[in-house]
Homo-oligomer: A and B are copies of this chain.
Amino acid sequence: MNQPFALEITSTQNEKLKHLLKLRERKTREQSGEFLIEGYREILKAYEAKVPLKSLFFSQERFLGANEHALIDKIGKSTRLYSLKGDLFDKYSYRHRPDGLLAVASIARQSEEEFAKAIFKKALGQAPFILLAESIEKPGNLGSIFRSCDAAGVHGVIVCDKQTDVFNPNVVRASIGTLFSVPFIECSLEAALSFLSKHHIKLVAATPHAKEFFTEVNFKEGIAIAMGSEQLGLSANLMDKATIKVKIPMYGAADSLNVAAATTLMLYEVVRQRHFV
């Protein structure tokens, strides 16, 4: 089988390579409407989810598996390919262990109506199961939250009053590509609350001041689990609007869990109640 045509790039002066570094910055992502996806697993998931891939930079010397060529063949039909030597590729990789694949993709956003449709399609008649992430600061946490949402079968994620944008390369990485399999929107808290109210979805907040534990409350109705920033937790405004408040039992010296860990607990309590009780 013929490999699709790839242009070789040999110099760091190349404008396309310079653009790769700039795409690590939010400003450039917003201006260009593009973002980075690195790694076999992530690029494959993006391809399968029909994320528009604009270019693929690869370095054969860095491949870690046996399937990279097959992926390049598939992607190469509609995407520009650029081949790099290993040393040069490493300068643009943002991973510990580069696997020789880095793609530039177009940012595609769902409108509120498309998001609502996607949720109800995924829910298959079940009560909606939403995650509301408010002002999460660390890309690793936001990515890990997406990964847990995917695993728990969350119908949609609302990222509101964002501190980190979902197209940050470290969100994509920590999500291991699940960013492409879970419907999401970014919006203001106000828009998020109005969306939930319109669709009769109850807001659930985890707070140490709640009376009931998270395993004692009914999660079978349509709900949005709200999780707040690492430093400050949920905003007072959001806390006010929550109709269900629950706490996670804490038996140690610290008074909170990592936000992605706490999110996973909350999500899987919904799973337990809906599938195992």
Contacts and interface: CB of A to CB of B under 8 A. Distances in A.
Interface stretch (A19-27, A85-93, A236-244, A261-269): A261-269
Interface in A108-163: 140, 144, 147-153
Interface stretch (A76-84, A199-207, A251-259): A251-259
The interface size bin for chain A is 35 or more
Secondary structure dominating the interface of A? helix
A7 B164 CA distance: 40
B271 A268 contact: no
Contact of A253 (B140, B181, B272): B181
Nearest to A268: B265
| Copies of this chain in its oligomeric complex | 2
A76 B248 CA distance: 36
Contacts of A271: 249, 251
Interface of A: 45, 48, 140, 144, 147-153, 174, 176-178, 180-182, 213, 215-216, 248-254, 256-258, 260-265, 268, 271-272, 275-276
